């Protein structure tokens, strides 16, 4: 639901002016024009004259606020009779009761009635300069044909459909076609291995998979259909695989395959929302597909990588497609920063109005470079905090608010309707400023996750039970002395590699499958480019004759195959023992300090069962880091 506010959040034509205060990092932005210019609904709340009072209204009169937005911005098949029935203590979150809508109708039909030839998608293909524009009318046609194909093949309301495709118009049409007929889509990031794909297909009990013959990424062919074929061998429940031809390469068909036809596209020139996330992640769902389309915008589907064919790719795309709002991940910004300013300055970025960042904390250096070099200090940088479970942006600067300051490395302010709280580990709400703790949200909002498919108990245990009455995000947060929110990282055993969340347990599970491995511990450590990297500690089986290099190579291969290439660890350290408490729990905080090169700050070790083990690990870590450096 928060993506309903995409337009309000990234207004199309607000004149921006930003300047740096103190020559350093404090940035102010000013906008002209009343609040109602980009959020006409504000007029219905007499007290809401500015952002501050509208935010207050959105939290204090949540029902009226969300009800108003839902009525004015969505087309309902059956209007809702009550706005919400939420009780976070009881694990209940129900919105717009009695109401019925179709999100595909809201993303397509509504706009086709008004402006059928407006460009909905710009597919920025891997091959630079070969973009494809798809109008709302064409996207609706494509979606309807695909919905009919799905229905003809027996896909019904409530069935799960796995989409394993790179960002392309047919992938968006597949999502919308599922939504149109009431099927549930599970978009699996097309970088995942056959094993990971198979897990997800089985978990969703999906009978249908939609894919392409081959993908193209960074100039390389990615064998997506072959991966699907391998995955499907492990999923007897799959009844059909719909295949679209992304390249000319004909592949052998299997008995399950259904070939999809190609479509013809129109070419037009319009304004653009440029979120470069993959549609396999939540950012792609909310800010490439549903948010922009529901708002009748033009959205970019970026298929390539930031460095293909060279590190100027993003900015060349901005120039060519005249992107107005660019939304990307810190990991890519950090990578591009290394290549220097020239790759950016070569291209005209005057179309840009707002620069967004998402997925992980953006460090000050990267923020500064994004702001100064990419945006020429003209475009506010919005560091947006949210997560899959929140559905849309929850904490973020709001540069459209006159006079709001923007500070680097900080998500800053709660978005409309979001009431963040900071709780200590005993569950006390920490009032006032200058406090750190767990980030929780005290009031339900329409975009929040309501359950875990087939496992409501797990949903309640993970998100609602840890702090009764609150939605627990799993992130740590610091509320600054000025009352701004600064995210401090995950509180659980999750690492965030290049903006992709990965459970350390999942990687340990893969590593432990190797014949030579007795046990392992995977720890996240700060990584210059990826934000976090995985550092793997291994204890070998007693009789193992493996050479360390061979083992490391095999483990990397295994992780790449079973999880994904992005997860492959740079550091794999073999050790005799892992540091454990006397009750046998791995002391992860000790390992974390070691990999962060803070071995002098190990803290209280009274529960540690073997102090020598820690010393050996510290030595081993030093050697490994030196060895990697010299390679």
Q: Determine the distance from the C-alpha atom of residue 162 to the mean position of all C-alpha atoms in its chain, rounded to a whole number.
A: 18
- Residues 595 and 524: their CA atoms lie apart, in Å, by 8
> 20 with 26: CB under 8 angstroms?
yes
Residue 411 interacts with ligand PRX (CB under 6 A)? yes
Residue 416 interacts with ligand PRX (CB under 6 A)? no
SS3 472: strand
Task: Write down the least CB distance from residue 190 to ligand PRX, Å.
Answer: 16
What DSSP state is assigned to residue 298? -
Q: Closest CB to ligand PRX among 232 and 411?
A: 411
Q: Closest CB to ligand PRX among 163 and 552?
A: 163
Q: Closest CB to ligand PRX among 122 and 497?
A: 497
Q: Closest CB to ligand PRX among 564 and 572?
A: 564
Looking at 28, 92, 239, 490, which residue binds ligand PRX (CB under 6 A)? Answer: 490
Stretch (H or E) spanning 164 = strand 160-164
- Residues 572 and 557: their CA atoms lie apart, in Å, by 13
Q: Determine the distance from the C-alpha atom of residue 130 to the mean position of all C-alpha atoms in its chain, rounded to a whole number.
A: 26
> 289 with 172: CB under 8 angstroms?
yes
Residue 195 interacts with ligand PRX (CB under 6 A)? no
> 281 with 275: CB under 8 angstroms?
no
> 614 with 608: CB under 8 angstroms?
yes
The pairing of strands 420-423 and 435-441 is antiparallel
Give the residue among 121, 163, 119, 169 at the shortest CA–CA distance from 145: 169
Between the CA of residue 98 and those of 79, 85, 101, 180, 391, what are the distances in Å? 7, 11, 10, 19, 21
Residue 475 interacts with ligand PRX (CB under 6 A)? yes
> 514 with 554: CB under 8 angstroms?
yes
Task: Write down the least CB distance from residue 474 to ligand PRX, Å.
Answer: 6
Task: Write down the least CB distance from residue 199 to ligand PRX, Å.
Answer: 17
Radius of gyration of the chain (CA): 25
Looking at 61, 102, 387, 480, which residue binds ligand PRX (CB under 6 A)? Answer: 387
Stretch (H or E) spanning 213 = none
- Residues 354 and 272: their CA atoms lie apart, in Å, by 12
- Residues 208 and 87: their CA atoms lie apart, in Å, by 35
Residue 147 interacts with ligand PRX (CB under 6 A)? no
Looking at 137, 372, 501, 592, which residue binds ligand PRX (CB under 6 A)? Answer: 501
Residue 282 interacts with ligand PRX (CB under 6 A)? yes
Binding marks (x or -) toward ligand PRX, 418..457, rule CB under 6 A? Answer: ----------------------------------------
Task: Write down the least CB distance from residue 500 to ligand PRX, Å.
Answer: 6
- Residues 343 and 322: their CA atoms lie apart, in Å, by 17
Structure tokens at 615: 């010393």
Looking at 123, 327, 385, 472, which residue binds ligand PRX (CB under 6 A)? Answer: 385
Task: Write down the least CB distance from residue 491 to ligand PRX, Å.
Answer: 9
Q: Which segment (207-215, 237-245, 295-303, 377-385) binds ligand PRX by CB under 6 A?
A: 377-385
Looking at 268, 388, 434, 481, which residue binds ligand PRX (CB under 6 A)? Answer: 388
Binding marks (x or -) toward ligand PRX, 346..365, rule CB under 6 A? Answer: ------------xxxx----
Q: Closest CB to ligand PRX among 282 and 332?
A: 282
Q: Closest CB to ligand PRX among 18 and 384?
A: 384
> 423 with 437: CB under 8 angstroms?
yes
Between the CA of residue 81 and those of 86, 95, 98, 355, what are the distances in Å? 15, 10, 6, 39
Residue 283 interacts with ligand PRX (CB under 6 A)? yes
Q: Closest CB to ligand PRX among 244 and 473?
A: 473
> 208 with 219: CB under 8 angstroms?
no
Cis peptide before 444, with omega less than 30 degrees from 0? no
How many of the chain's residues bind ligand PRX (CB under 6 A)? 20
Q: Closest CB to ligand PRX among 458 and 513?
A: 458
- Residues 453 and 203: their CA atoms lie apart, in Å, by 9
Give the residue among 372, 411, 417, 380 at the shortest CA–CA distance from 395: 411
Looking at 162, 304, 496, 573, which residue binds ligand PRX (CB under 6 A)? Answer: 496
Task: Write down the least CB distance from residue 220 to ligand PRX, Å.
Answer: 25
Q: Closest CB to ligand PRX among 159 and 360?
A: 360
Q: Which segment (27-35, 384-392, 581-589, 597-605) binds ligand PRX by CB under 6 A?
A: 384-392
Residue 478 interacts with ligand PRX (CB under 6 A)? no
Q: Closest CB to ligand PRX among 142 and 362?
A: 362
Binding marks (x or -) toward ligand PRX, 290..329, rule CB under 6 A? Answer: ----------------------------------------
Residue 257 interacts with ligand PRX (CB under 6 A)? no
The residues binding ligand PRX (CB under 6 A) are 282-283, 358-361, 383-388, 411, 473-475, 487, 490, 496, 501
């Amino acid at each position: 639901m928060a993506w309903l506010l995409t337009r309000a959040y990234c207004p199309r034509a607000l004149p921006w002016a930003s300047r740096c205060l103190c020559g350093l990092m404090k940035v102010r932005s000013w906008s002209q024009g009343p609040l109602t210019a980009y959020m006409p609904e504000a007029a219905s709340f007499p007290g809401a004259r500015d952002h501050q009072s509208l935010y207050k209204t959105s939290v204090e009169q949540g029902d009226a606020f969300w009800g108003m937005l839902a009525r004015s911005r969505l087309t309902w098949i059956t209007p809702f009779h009550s706005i919400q029935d939420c009780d976070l203590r009881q694990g209940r979150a129900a919105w717009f009761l009695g109401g019925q809508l179709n999100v595909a109708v809201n993303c397509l039909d509504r706009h086709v009635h008004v402006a059928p030839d407006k460009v909905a998608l710009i597919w920025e293909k891997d091959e630079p300069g070969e973009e494809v524009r798809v109008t709302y009318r064409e996207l609706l046609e494509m979606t309807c044909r695909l919905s009919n194909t799905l229905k003809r093949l027996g896909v019904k309301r409530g069935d799960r459909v796995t989409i394993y495709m790179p960002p392309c118009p047919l992938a968006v049409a597949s999502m919308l076609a599922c939504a149109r007929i009431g099927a549930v889509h599970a978009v699996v990031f097309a970088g995942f291995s056959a094993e990971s794909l198979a897990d997800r297909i089985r978990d969703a009990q999906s009978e249908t998979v939609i894919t392409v013959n081959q993908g193209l990424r960074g100039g390389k062919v990615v064998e997506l259909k072959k991966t699907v074929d391998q995955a499907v061998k492990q999923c007897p429940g799959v009844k059909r695989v719909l295949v679209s031809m992304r390249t000319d390469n004909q592949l052998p068909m299997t008995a399950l395959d259904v070939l999809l036809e190609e479509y013809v596209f129109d070419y037009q020139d319009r304004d653009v929302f440029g979120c470069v996330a993959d549609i396999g992640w939540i950012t792609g769902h909310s800010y490439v597909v549903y948010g922009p389309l529901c708002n009748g915008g033009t959205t970019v589907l970026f298929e390539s990588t930031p460095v293909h064919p060279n590190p100027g790719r993003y900015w060349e795309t901005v120039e060519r497609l005249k992107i107005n709002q660019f939304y990307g991940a810190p990991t890519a910004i950090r990578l591009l920063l290394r290549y220097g300013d020239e790759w950016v300055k070569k291209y005209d970025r005057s179309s840009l109005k707002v620069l967004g960042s998402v997925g992980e904390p953006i460090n000050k250096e990267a923020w500064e470079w994004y702001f100064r070099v990419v945006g020429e200090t003209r475009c506010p940088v919005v560091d947006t905090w949210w997560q899959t479970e929140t559905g849309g942006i929850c904490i973020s600067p709001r540069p459209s608010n006159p006079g709001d300051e923007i500070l680097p490395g900080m998500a800053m302010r709660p978005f409309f309707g979001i009431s963040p709280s900071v709780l200590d580990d005993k569950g006390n709400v920490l009032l006032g400023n200058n406090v750190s703790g767990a980030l929780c949200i005290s009031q339900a909002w329409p975009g929040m996750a309501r359950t875990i498919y087939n496992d409501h108990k797990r949903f309640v245990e993970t998100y609602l039970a840890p702090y009764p009455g609150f939605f627990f995000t799993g992130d740590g947060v610091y509320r600054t002395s000025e009352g701004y929110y600064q995210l401090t990282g995950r509180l659980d055993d999750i690492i965030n590699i290049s903006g992709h969340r990965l459970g350390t347990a999942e990687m340990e599970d893969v590593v432990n499958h190797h014949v030579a491995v007795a046990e392992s511990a995977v720890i996240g450590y700060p990584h210059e480019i990826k934000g976090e990297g995985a550092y793997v500690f291994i204890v070998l089986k007693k009789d193992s004759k493996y050479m360390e290099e061979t083992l490391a190579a095999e483990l990397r291969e295994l992780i790449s195959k079973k999880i994904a290439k992005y997860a492959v660890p740079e550091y794999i350290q073999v050790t005799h023992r892992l540091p454990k408490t006397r009750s046998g729990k791995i002391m992860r905080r000790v390992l974390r300090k070691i990999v962060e090169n803070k071995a002098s700050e190990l803290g209280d070790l009274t529960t540690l069962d073997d102090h020598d083990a820690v010393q050996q690990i510290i030595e081993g870590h030093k050697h490994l880091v030196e060895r990697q450096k010299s390679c």
